[in-house]
Amino acid sequence: MPSARLPLLAFAATLFAGAAAAQTADIKIGFNGDLSASPSASSGQAAVLAMQLAADDINAGGGLLGRKLVIVARDDLALPPKSIQNMSDLIDSEKVVAILGPTNSGNAMAWKQIPNQKRIPVIVPLASGSDITRPLSEGGDNYMFRVSMSDRAQVGGLLAYAKADPAAKGIAYAVETTGYGQGGLKDMTEVGALLGLKPVMTEKFGVADTDMTSQLTKLKAAGVDTLVVWAQGAPLGHLLRSMDKIGYFPKVLSSWAADNPSFIDTAGPRLADRPIFLRTVDPARTPRQQQLFERLGPKLNPGAFHLAAHSYDAMMLLALAIRQAGSTDGAALRTALEDLNSRHDGYIKIYDHPFSRTQHEALAGPDYKWAHWQDGKLATYSDAVTAALKPSDFKQ
C-alpha cells in the first residue's frame, strides 16, 4: 500500500512545485508594434523605452506581488499578419499577462479579437483609431483599453473649434483615401451631425499624392475658409505645399499627424506653421514632464515624448490593477482596470477611475492641448476660440 502512494505523493509534489514556481516567476508585459519599418517606428521605440523605465522603477520598489516585471517586445514591422503572429507568440509562448501596443490602428483592428478571446488586457498607448476600444459585442467583456488620443475625440475638438469660430463661414473636409482617412471622415460626418455642422464639400486625395491643387481649386471656388484635414504627415505636408502653389490658405484644423516629423519635413517650417491640432502634452512641458524627458535620455526621439508619457502612465495603471487584483489573471486585471480604487498622478494627467465597464478611454477631449508649429518648433496654440471652449463643447 505505501508503495502505491509514492507516485501520488510525487505527482502532488510536482504540482506544488509548479504552482510555487508560477507564484515566483517574472511577470511579463508584452509590447507589439512597429519598431523598425515605417515612420511610426519612432513611436514604438519611445513606447518600449518608457515601458522599460517604468518596469525598472516598479522593480526598484519591490516589483509586483513580490515578483519582477519584465518587458517582452515584438516588432510587427507595421504589417497586420506579423502583428497577429506576434500576439499569439506573446500570449501563448511568452505567457505575458498584458500587452501594450500597437503603433498602427489597422494592426489593432486585425487582432483585437485575440486578446478578447484569450482574456489578456491590452492598453493602447499609441494607435488612435476610434473602433479599437469598442467591444466586440454590445455588453460583452472588453479587454481593449487606451491611454492615448482617439480619433473620435480629436474630431470632437476640431469640430468644436470650427463651430465656435465666428470667422468660419464655409467649412469643408479633406481626407486621404486610406483606412485612416476614411475612418476620420466617418467620425467627422457623425460628430458634425451632432454639432449641426454640414460641410460645404468633401475632397479626397491619395496618401502618395504630391499635388492637390485640383481639389484645392474646387474648395477655393466654393468659398471654403476652414478646412478640417484627416491625413498622415507627408500627404498633409504636400497639401500645404499645394496651397502655396495657388496662393490659397484656409484655416487648417488637422489630426495629430501634424505633430509627426514627416509633416514638417515635407511642408517645411514656413508652411508647417499653418495647421492647428491637438496633442496630449503641451509643448511647454511641465517641470515633472521635463524630468521624465531627461530620464528617458538621448535614445528618445524628442517628438515622440508624449507617446512615451502615455506608455509610462499605462504601465503604472496596469501595475495598480495587478496590485488591486492581487493576481495576474486576465479577467481579474480587466475587472480591476474597470474600477481602479487608487488615484494615480501620471505624467499626462491625474487618473481617477480612468476606466469603467463601458468606458475604456483614459483620455478625453478636454485632456488634449492645442498646438501648432512655430519657427520649426512645436508651440502652444491659443486664441479667443480655444479660450472660450468648454468641456461640454467636445461632442463624440
Q: Are 33 and 42 in contact (CB under 8 A)?
A: no
Q: With a cut of 90, say whether residue 308 has pLDDT above it.
A: yes
Q: With a cut of 70, say whether residue 3 has pLDDT above it.
A: no
Q: With a cut of 70, say whether residue 9 has pLDDT above it.
A: no
Question: Per-residue pLDDT tens for 174-187?
Answer: 999 888 888 899 99
- Residue with the bigger pLDDT between 182 and 163: it is 163
pLDDT confidence of 389, banded at 50, 70, 90? very high
pLDDT at res. 1: 45
Q: What is the average pLDDT value for the chain, to the nearest integer?
A: 91
Rg (CA), the chain: 23
How many C-beta atoms lie closer than 10 Å to residue 12's C-beta? Answer: 10
- pTM: predicted TM-score of the whole model, two decimal places: 0.86
CATH class of 152-279+369-393: alpha beta
What is the three-class DSSP state of 74?
Answer: strand
pLDDT at res. 262: 83
Distance CA 322, CA 302 (A): 31
Percentage of the chain surpassing pLDDT 90? 77
Could you give the count of Cα atoms lying within 13 Å of 127 in the half-sphere of its Cβ?
A: 29
- Residue with the bigger pLDDT between 94 and 128: it is 94
Question: Per-residue pLDDT tens for 42-56?
Answer: 889 999 999 999 999
Grid cell 502505491 in the structure block, residue:
4
Cα–Cα separations (whole angstroms), residue 217 to 75, 143, 214, 230, 387: 42, 46, 5, 18, 32
- Domain ranges across the chain: 22-149+284-363, 152-279+369-393
CA 296 to chain centre: 19
Q: Are strands 369-374 and 277-279 parallel, antiparallel or unpaired?
A: antiparallel
E runs forming strands in the chain = 27-33, 69-75, 98-100, 122-124, 144-146, 171-176, 202-205, 226-230, 251-254, 277-279, 344-345, 350-351, 369-374, 377-380
Distance CA 160, CA 370 (A): 12
Question: Per-residue pLDDT tens for 238-293?
Answer: 999 999 999 999 999 999 889 887 888 899 999 999 999 999 999 889 999 999 99
Grid cell 508594434 in the structure block, residue:
33
Architecture of domain 22-149+284-363: 3-Layer(aba) Sandwich (3.40)
pLDDT confidence of 162, banded at 50, 70, 90? very high
Kindly report the CA angle at 175 between 110 and 154, in degrees rounded to 5?
70
Do the first three CATH levels of 22-149+284-363 and 152-279+369-393 match, i.e. the same topology? Answer: yes
Question: Per-residue pLDDT tens for 75-120?
Answer: 999 899 999 999 999 999 999 999 999 988 889 999 999 999 999 9
Q: With a cut of 90, say whether residue 20 has pLDDT above it.
A: no
Distance CA 111, CA 199 (A): 34
